Each structure stands twice: as C-alpha cells, then as structure tokens.
A and B are shown apart, each in its own frame.
Chain A
Amino acid sequence: MNKYLERLVNGIFKENPIFVLMLGMCPTLAVTKSAMNGIGMGLSTAVVLIASNAIIAALRKFIPEKVRIPYFIVVVASMVTIVELLLKAYLRDVYDALGIYIPLIVVNCIIFGRVEAYAAKNSVGVSLFDGIGMGLGFTVALVLIGSFRELLGAGTIFNIRVMPESFEPISIFVQPPGAFLVLALLTALQNKFKLSSATNGTVKKSALACGGDCAHCSVEKFASFHSNVAGSSDKKESVRKED
C-alpha cells in the first residue's frame, strides 16, 4: 500500500486516537453532547494537528533534542490561537458552543503524542498525512459518540428528528454523567469482543516519553521518567557550578 494512504488508514482505523489509543479524554467527554459539536471539535483539532505535524517535521533537524518540548508547546499553541481566531471570525456558532475547549486543544494528548512520537522523526509528507489520518479518526469517533448521545438524549441527530414523537428523550445522556456512561459501555464492549484498545492492554505502548497511556498511568512510571529528566538537569547545574 502507498505509504501516504497507509497513514490515513492507520489514523482512522488501526490506531484511532479515541477508540483504540484512548487519548484526549477531556474533549471526548466534554463536547460530545451533540454530533455537530463533535464535528466542530474534531475538525478544529485536525487542523491544529495537521499544521503542527507539518511544521515540526519541517523543523525537526533544527530543534535541539533537549529543548524540544518548549518548541513544541509554542508551535502547537500558536496553531491553536490561529484556529481560535478563525472560528471566532467566521464560525461564531461553533466557537460559542465549544467555548473554553478550543484553547484547551493545546493540552490535548493527541497533539503532543503525534508531534513527539511521529512528526519529530519523519519527513514532512508522511507527517502531514499522519496528521490528516489522526485528525479524521478523531473527528469520526467524536461524531459517532456525539450522534449516539444526541439520539438517546434528545431524539435527534445533527438537530434532525430521528426518533418517533412518542420517544421520551433520556436526558441523562446529554448531561455530564451520560458522557462517562457512554464511554464506560464503549470500553466494556471492547473488552467483551476483544477489540484492540489501550484499555485492555492489547495496544503496544506508544513512543511517548510517559508511555502515553493515560488510562493506565501510574505515578511510579511518571516518577521514573521524571527522575531521568531531573537527573540530566542536575548534571547541567553541576557543570555550571564548576565553571
């Protein structure tokens, strides 16, 4: 298969950021009240991801290894600000509906995960397609979860009435507890049918510094990673003292 096409398929099916990798839980739970919100959030994240992936991949030979994280933060935050301003100017409804979750794309694990694990090591072309694949996978997943919640919670999909008039909406599904419930059922079904998902340990660990596995994160893992980083900065300090 063509390597660009392979990246697209990988992002949408094989390593879908929500259904398989379980990254970016906060937006997944927060904005899937309706299918429309899912599309808005998914595409905004996709644009940020594609742009950041391309920029980081283009700069990967110039960014010093030790200070790469601040570089990534600045690039991603700039892209988010651009998307935020564009939405504010041209798509006011989407901006109002998503509110604070637009600037919070900066701290979405998916973006840092892809930038760190993929774009920083690969060429601009494949990184671009990796961003498109991951972004589309994220959008598809958000729309599916959003449609499900909207269907049960309000009887509509994309604000179009689907359920018969006699259907009494189960409003808990469009309220905060419903978000947790839908995700709980989803992961339980994945366990039941043995589908690959980060929550049942069938997905290999990603190359993220912290493992990227938020669902199974333990303090010990973080502590060991952190002591490596802290160790290197201590060394730097001692060098400076000797000077």
Chain B
Amino acid sequence: MTQDGRVDDQALVKRMRAGEEQAFEEFFEGYFPALYRFVLARCGRDASAAEEIVQAALCRAVAKLETYRGEAMLFTWLCTFCRHEVSAYYRREQRSGPPHALVEDAPEVRAALESLAHEDAWRAAEDGRRDEVARLVQVTLDHLPLHYGRVLEWKYLEGLPVKEIAQRLQVGLKAAESLLTRAREAFRDGFGAVSGGTFGGGS
C-alpha cells in the first residue's frame, strides 16, 4: 500500500499481466462494484443493461492492460471504457441516450451540495435531496483509491477503532492513522470538486 493510489494500481496491473490469479481477484473485487454503480447511474438503472455494459467494458480493459501507463487512477481509466460502452450500447439499441440525465449535473443538486457546509442546510439535504447527496457521497468514495474508500467506511460506518483498522490492513497504528487522515483529505477534496468546491467544516 502506498500513498499514491496510482503506484498501487500500476503494481496491480503488472501482477495481472504476469498472470497472477490473486491479482485478478483483487482487481475484480476492488473495481467491479464501483464500475457497476458507475454504469447503473448512466443507463437509467437498467440492471440488465448495466451488466452487459460493465462486462463488455471490463473484457476490453483486461485485453488492453498493457496500455495502462499509470497516468490516471485505474478506476478513472476503467471508467473510460465504461463510458465508451454505454455510448455503444445506446447506439446498438438505437436509442438516443440514457433515459435519465445524471443527478450530479442537475443545478438543484449542485446547489444542495454547495450548501452542505452550512449547518442549517443539513436539514434541507436530509429532507428533500437526501438520496441525491447520498449517491454523490458514494460516487466520491468510488473514485478514491480503493483503500481510502474502505478505511473511511470502516471508520465511520462500521465504527472500527483505528487499532482494528490497522490490524485489517496489517500495518502499524501510525500508518493507519496517517492513511485515515489522507483518506479524509482526499474525500474532502473529491466531494468538494463535485459540489463546486464549497465543501467545508471542521477536520
């Protein structure tokens, strides 16, 4: 595990190119769920279409692993394949495009996200636009390096103490604290980006 997710990604791809089965397991377990969510949101939540699209995208990606240079996060690189397959799917099906625009592009959701820094806006977010905000939080987590997303969920959803997170990651306590701090910063930056750069509050 490194501070730069791209280094981890490059190492993973290298192991896959060497034919290591465990690397394939890590690749699929790590990226498939997030890619499925990514595509599902772009095909009107049509599970059958999402399955077909993600399968096609991943098949293309694993056949082109040698073209991954580590310039972008592996997840970002894989999303490129998914976007291409979404377009191809709708061309093939002779449809004009996904039936629903992405929620994060809607002005009212951007406004909701931008207001999250203010205490009184929480109630609004939790009332009318909770689902949209929740999905964007999950989108942000999906775009973080794999271990960042995991430690944030372990910490804040499962309530694990740092000591236990360190044990799960098989690292020391200080390394786990440091990772959690970086994960929080990355989440804040990522969520700030999708919410128009206004995400704020305490540390």
Q: Do A and B bind each other?
A: no
Instruction: List the interface of chain A (C-beta within 8 A of B).
Output: none
Instruction: List the interface of chain B (C-beta within 8 A of A).
Output: none
